[in-house]
Amino acid sequence: MSILFEPVRINRLDIPNRFVRSATNDGGADPDGYVTDRQVALYDELARGGTGLIVTGAINVHPHGQILAFQKRIDTDGHIKGLARLTEAVHRHGKCIAVQLFHGGAEAGAYSAGKGWSAGAPSHLGEDSQFPFFKGEYRALDETEIASLITDFGQGARRAREAGFDAVQLHGAHGYLFSQFLSPYINRREDSWGGSLENRLRFTVEVYREIRRQVGEDYPVLIKLGVQDSFPDGLLFEEGRKAARLTAELGFDCLEISSGARGSGWKETEFRTGIRKVEEEAYYRLWCREIKPDVGVPLMLAGGLRSFELMEEIVRQGDAELVSLSRPLIREPNLVQSWKEGDLRRSACISCNKCIEQLVLGKMALCTQLEKSGKKPAS
Ligand SMILES: Cc1cc2nc3c(=O)[nH]c(=O)nc-3n(C[C@H](O)[C@H](O)[C@H](O)COP(=O)(O)O)c2cc1C
């Protein structure tokens, strides 16, 4: 049997295989962030399709952190019941599910327009900033607001545990709130939340401590960490690598390695296009390989994984313990089960990113290639 089908342990959680569905916002919640029937069906399909650990899409710990319509929320106890339907659907198939706790920071600016609040971020970049992703209004958070956000993440984790999730993961990548704090370009604060790497990482550290207070030591707490920004003057890998070591030393039970704040064009994002050959896959593998000796916890590698043999080699060589996929499982939710049954064909995903475009248009993130081939309608 392939190593990819061997179990792996994170804290006290036993995951039945090495395949993770990397967090994927599906755009299928109701307008108030409650779970819908179509989301329950989606998670059921993914768990039945073989993926060992499913990480939800980014779920808001506070409504002001929301970046897109129809994102799930976990900011009230009233959301627990619907979220529990997701955990039940996944557990029924013997698989595991983690919630991804999220706040968009400055990136929540565009969605918040006209809603009566303004988005909060580590700092404001000034009128002359060319930063391409901060499209709406946003402002620097004050100390009281930072303290209140730390509480929000702790409460989100508590609700996740109550809803039956097996783990929580902080979204610390891709230029959202944690990643904004970590980035020396975006975080221009001169107080104890900005400046040195330790200060820029402090928000992550304080959120981690609050989560532990809420869920205890035996509950798996993960982070998806952006270890390098994709534009000049952003976070450099040497600092990202150090941040990975510090988060593991702090007590995070597993790190998923990805990129930090985005640059312009798909090439400068976590969802690169044009992955045609095996050499173009696994574009963050070298980061994982360099971080691995510094940390004593399992790593997950995300980004462009398409070929079974390559994933097997990555895990066998010890670059990562788990492999994390998003777009291939939108295209083929049954992919892992097919591989288990011996059909080792490469993922059919062509990385066209139409699923992401659907999401931005307020639709569900489905595969438009399937729609074209008449196999499945995109809503
Ligand atoms: C439709 C869509 C939604 C996504 N939503 C999230 C998200 O909510 N949180 C997150 O950390 N990454 C999100 N991602 C990024 C993926 O988790 C992953 O890091 C990236 O797509 C690269 O992996 P892939 O080549 O397997 O797609 C999303 C990707 C897609 C395609």
Q: What is the CATH number of the domain that holds 106?
A: 3.20.20.70
**Rounded Cα distance, 13 and 7, in Å:** 10
Encoded amino acid at 6, one letter? E
Among protein residues, the one with the nearest Cα to ligand 1's atom 31 is: 327
Question: Is residue 367 assigned to a domain?
Answer: no
Q: Tell me which of 19, 20, 21, 24 to substitute to probe ligand 1's pocket, judged by most ligand atoms within 8 Å of the beta carbon.
A: 24
Q: Write phi, then psi, for 8 (nearest 5 degrees).
A: -145, 150
Among protein residues, the one with the nearest Cα to ligand 1's atom 13 is: 24
**Rounded Cα distance, 323 and 309, in Å:** 12
Helix H, strand E, coil C: the string for 165-182 is CCEEEEEECCCCHHHHHH
**Rounded Cα distance, 356 and 25, in Å:** 9
Question: Is residue 24 assigned to a domain?
Answer: yes
Tokens of 173: 């990548």
CA 226 to centroid of ligand 1, rounded, Å: 13
Nearest to 169 by CA among 268, 116, 96, 63: 96
Question: Distances from the Cα of 73 to the Cαs of 81, 244, 257, 265, 292, in angstroms?
Answer: 12, 27, 24, 29, 33
Its pTM surpasses 0.85: yes
Is 15 in contact with 59 (CB distance < 8 Å)? no
Question: Is residue 374 assigned to a domain?
Answer: no
Encoded amino acid at 369, one letter? Q
Helix H, strand E, coil C: the string for 245-264 is HHHHHHCCCEEEEECCCCCC
Instruction: Answer whether 175 contacts ligand 1 (Cβ < 6 A).
Output: no
Is 149 in contact with 141 (CB distance < 8 Å)? yes
CA 271 to centroid of ligand 1, rounded, Å: 7
- Supply the range of the domain harboring residue 331: 3-346
Nearest to 179 by CA among 124, 271, 258, 283: 258
Question: Is residue 155 assigned to a domain?
Answer: yes
Among protein residues, the one with the nearest Cα to ligand 1's atom 2 is: 24
Q: Rounded to 5 degrees, what angle do the CA atoms 170, 89, 301 make?
A: 35
Tokens of 148: 């209140």
Instruction: Answer whether 332 contacts ligand 1 (Cβ < 6 A).
Output: no
Q: Write phi, then psi, for 116 (nearest 5 degrees).
A: 95, 5
Count of domains observed in the chain: 1
pLDDT tens track, the chain, 379 positions: 999 999 999 999 999 999 999 999 999 999 999 999 999 999 999 999 999 999 999 999 999 999 999 999 999 999 999 999 999 999 999 999 999 999 999 999 999 988 988 899 999 988 766 677 788 889 999 999 999 999 999 999 999 999 999 999 999 999 999 999 999 999 999 999 999 999 999 999 999 999 999 999 999 999 999 999 998 889 999 999 999 999 999 999 999 999 999 998 898 999 999 999 999 999 999 999 999 999 999 999 999 999 999 999 999 999 999 999 999 999 999 999 999 999 999 999 999 999 999 999 999 999 998 877 766 644 4
**Rounded Cα distance, 22 and 25, in Å:** 10
Question: Is residue 357 assigned to a domain?
Answer: no
CA 281 to centroid of ligand 1, rounded, Å: 15
Question: Is residue 372 assigned to a domain?
Answer: no
Give the model confidence (pLDDT) of 198-237 as tens digits.
999 999 999 999 999 999 999 999 999 999 999 888 999 9
Question: Is residue 230 assigned to a domain?
Answer: yes
Is 119 in contact with 68 (CB distance < 8 Å)? no
CA 174 to centroid of ligand 1, rounded, Å: 10
Instruction: Answer whether 365 contacts ligand 1 (Cβ < 6 A).
Output: yes
Among all residues, which ones are annotated catalytic? 176
Nearest to 182 by CA among 168, 165, 166, 195: 195
Among protein residues, the one with the nearest Cα to ligand 1's atom 29 is: 24
Question: Is residue 356 assigned to a domain?
Answer: no
